[in-house]
Amino acid sequence: MTSPRRYHITTFGCQMNKADSERMAGILEDMGFEWSEDPNEANLLLYNTCTIRDNAEQKVYSYLGRQAHRKHQQPDLTLVVTGCVAQQEGEALLRRVPELDLVMGPQHANRLQDLLEQVFDGNQIVATEPIQIVEDITKPRRDSKVTAWVNVIYGCNERCTYCVVPNVRGVEQSRSPEAIRAEMEQLGQQGYKEVTLLGQNIDAYGRDLPGVTESGRHQHTLTDLLYYVHDVPGIERLRFATSHPRYFTERLIRACAELPKVCEHFHIPFQSGDNEILKAMSRGYTHEKYRRIIDKIRQYMPDASISADAIVGFPGETEEQFENTLKLVEDIGFDLLNTAAYSPRPGTPAAVWDNQLSEEIKSDRLQRLNHLVSTKAAQASQRYLGRVEEVLVEDQNPKDPTQVMGRTRGNRLTFFRGDIEELKGKLVNGKITQARAFSLTGERVDILIPTGG
Ligand code: SAH
Ligand code: SF4
Ligand code: F3S
């Protein structure tokens, strides 16, 4: 009898990559592979990579170096690189690491079985050509039993001058509303309670699908999708990411306020608080427009939580322009902000401009921004003290087994005393007793009767 084939996946990068990894794991299990916690005991290793900043390629090469070495002792080891570095480097990866069996870009994730079968027939494969993404027919192996990601649009048609995503993820491709709803219905039946709809630029959802209304509007927009999937039975909470300020509409805000399952949390990256920099980034909005969106959201949902991404040290950014970013953060008071120092990426316009800033300036600005962010987030957190918040219990607190953890509708990580066996996947009311910058502690008040749909 042959021993079972075992696989291990290492995932870097964003939610898109995590969702792709879950689908690829599903495909591998369908093919008879079993998960191996220890990568060194697996005979198929898959690295799902990210190239958004820093020397992501170098990190991948260093991981691969070690495993390529192992392959000389264990010739049946299959080495796969997927994701955004795979797309960016393509053939170059094979030239540097000839032990690799398969290099495939993100658009090919759902074709993993097909490509692996070619590998097992003795081929070495690079799959990076643009394709129409095939609908996934296997079941993803999801990390959580409570919350799930559902892709709604792949790719990005924007051309932000710092960003590699359009190069590596290709053009926008929306899934049909029916396919999205069908996936969500299955999730509801399996006991999932929360779904996050995913897209790099989720506001672009539906633009590439056929059909316009009488008034000339696209028939399929994110707003329409929210109405269409809102009543999926079993799913109690809906989220979506990532929003682009350029396309964020009042119609969408109204829908979020109106639809009870849509959580009052919005992730809307602004990148910079300075109009000149925003222009150089080709973001297509001003800081005034961004502020108007946040005002509008707060008008409809006064307690909405707002998170965003920002970049410091973009080429040519002056101290004054950086201070405009600080000012925006000061004024809006984000619940969470992902910050990054600008990193030149291959194949992007800004990478070759001659007004690059020094690493010292970038890291100094990053520190100053991060300091302000945690001060503001700690302040924003205070509003939860003494309140009763609805928490969807996801897991045990890894640092304290007497506690469970979950998220509020505003996406704050929250801990309280409780038994995970009893509470996993339940919506629980917790009275908040401690508020830290990015997490809360509470006491259970009672269990909500699921509202059901
Ligand atoms: N689609 C989303 C996010 C894409 S990438 C959006 O439009 O906002 C996630 C985040 O990485 C970005 O929001 C940005 O803040 C950061 N990022 C992207 N390219 C970067 C670069 N070259 N250097 C530093 N940060 C970058
Ligand atoms: Fe990158 Fe801009 Fe597309 Fe976001 S919208 S993925 S930052 S190009
Ligand atoms: Fe990274 Fe690709 Fe996501 S570059 S951030 S994994 S789209």
In a domain, 122, yes or no: yes
In a domain, 133, yes or no: no
Q: What is the pLDDT of residue 450?
A: 54
Tokens read off for 252? 């969408």
For ligand 1, which residues put their CB under 6 angstroms from it? 52-53, 162-163, 165, 200-201, 242, 244, 269, 271, 309, 311, 340, 342-343, 345
* d(CA 201, ligand 2 centre) in Å: 7
* d(CA 226, ligand 1 centre) in Å: 25
Q: How confident is the model at residue 448 (pLDDT cuts 50, 70, 90)?
A: low
Q: What is the CATH number of the domain that holds 190?
A: 3.80.30.20
Q: Are residues 259 and 348 in the same domain?
A: yes
Least confident window among 66-75, 114-123, 368-377: 66-75
Q: pLDDT tens-digit profile of 129-184?
A: 999 988 876 789 999 999 999 999 999 999 999 999 999 999 999 999 999 999 99
Q: What is the pLDDT of residue 419?
A: 95
Q: Are residues 80 and 216 in the same domain?
A: no
Q: How confident is the model at residue 335 (pLDDT cuts 50, 70, 90)?
A: very high
**Which ligand has the nearest atom to the CA of 16?**
3
Average pLDDT over residues 377-395: 95
Is the Cβ atom of 85 under 6 angstroms away from ligand 3? no
* Residue numbers belonging to the annotated binding site: 14, 50, 84, 156, 160, 163
Answer for the pair 164, 88: CB distance below 8 angstroms, yes or no.
Answer: yes
Answer for the pair 156, 172: CB distance below 8 angstroms, yes or no.
Answer: yes
Tokens read off for 448? 């909500």
What is the percentage of the chain residues whose pLDDT exceeds 90? 88
Q: Residue 163 CA: which ligand 1 atom is closest?
A: 19
Q: Are residues 194 and 289 in the same domain?
A: yes
Average pLDDT over residues 332-345: 96
* Residue numbers belonging to the annotated binding site for [4Fe-4S] cluster: 14, 50, 84, 156, 160, 163
Q: pLDDT tens-digit profile of 176-207?
A: 999 999 999 999 999 999 999 999 999 999 99
In a domain, 138, yes or no: no
Please determine, for residue 95, whether its predicted confidence score (pLDDT) is greater than 80.
yes
Q: What is the pLDDT of residue 1?
A: 44
Amino acid at 451: T
Among protein residues, the one with the nearest Cα to ligand 3's atom 3 is 14
Of 127, 155, 181, which one is at a domain's C-terminal end? Answer: 127
**Which ligand has the nearest atom to the CA of 60?**
3
* d(CA 165, ligand 3 centre) in Å: 6
Q: Whole-angstrom Cα distance, residue 190 to residue 233?
A: 11
* d(CA 236, ligand 3 centre) in Å: 28
* d(CA 306, ligand 3 centre) in Å: 22
Q: What is the pLDDT of residue 453?
A: 40
* d(CA 431, ligand 1 centre) in Å: 35
What is the span of the domain harbouring residue 427?
Answer: 385-449
Q: Whole-angstrom Cα distance, residue 149 to residue 184?
A: 9
Is the Cβ atom of 362 under 6 angstroms away from ligand 2? no
Answer for the pair 384, 409: CB distance below 8 angstroms, yes or no.
Answer: no
* d(CA 13, ligand 1 centre) in Å: 11
Please determine, for residue 447, whether its predicted confidence score (pLDDT) is greater than 80.
no
Please determine, for residue 311, whether its predicted confidence score (pLDDT) is greater than 60.
yes
Is the Cβ atom of 104 under 6 angstroms away from ligand 3? no
Place of tokens 């009893």: 422
Q: How confident is the model at residue 60 (pLDDT cuts 50, 70, 90)?
A: confident
Is the Cβ atom of 165 under 6 angstroms away from ligand 3? yes
In a domain, 374, yes or no: yes
Q: pLDDT tens-digit profile of 18-40?
A: 999 999 999 999 999 999 999 99
Q: What is the CATH number of the domain that holds 443?
A: 2.40.50.140
Q: Are residues 236 and 107 in the same domain?
A: no
Q: What is the pLDDT of residue 4?
A: 74
- Number of domains making up the chain: 3
Among protein residues, the one with the nearest Cα to ligand 3's atom 7 is 165
Average pLDDT over residues 345-369: 97
Q: Are residues 201 and 330 in the same domain?
A: yes
Q: How confident is the model at residue 3 (pLDDT cuts 50, 70, 90)?
A: low
Q: What is the chain's percent helix, strand, coil content, to nearest 5? A: 35, 25, 40
Phi-psi region of 368 (alpha: psi -120 to 50; beta: other; left: phi over 0): alpha
Average pLDDT over residues 69-94: 93
Q: pLDDT tens-digit profile of 212-224?
A: 777 777 778 999 9
Among protein residues, the one with the nearest Cα to ligand 1's atom 5 is 52
Q: Are residues 220 and 302 in the same domain?
A: yes
Q: pLDDT tens-digit profile of 290-310?
A: 999 999 999 999 999 999 999
Of 331, 349, 383, which one is at a domain's C-terminal end? Answer: 383
Q: Are residues 303 and 174 in the same domain?
A: yes
Least confident window among 53-57, 206-210, 232-236: 53-57
Please state, rounded to an integer, the average pLDDT across all residues of the chain: 94
Q: Whole-angstrom Cα distance, residue 180 to residue 261?
A: 17
Please determine, for residue 65, whether its predicted confidence score (pLDDT) is greater than 90.
no
* d(CA 24, ligand 1 centre) in Å: 24
Q: How far is CA 257 from CA 85, 158, 233, 302, 448, in A?
A: 39, 28, 20, 10, 21
Answer for the pair 328, 297: CB distance below 8 angstroms, yes or no.
Answer: no
Q: What is the pLDDT of residue 112?
A: 96
Is the Cβ atom of 309 under 6 angstroms away from ligand 2? no
* d(CA 366, ligand 1 centre) in Å: 15
**Which ligand has the nearest atom to the CA of 161?**
2
Q: Residue 160 CA: which ligand 1 atom is closest?
A: 7
Q: Residue 85 CA: which ligand 3 atom is closest?
A: 4
Q: Are residues 375 and 390 in the same domain?
A: no
Q: How confident is the model at residue 287 (pLDDT cuts 50, 70, 90)?
A: very high
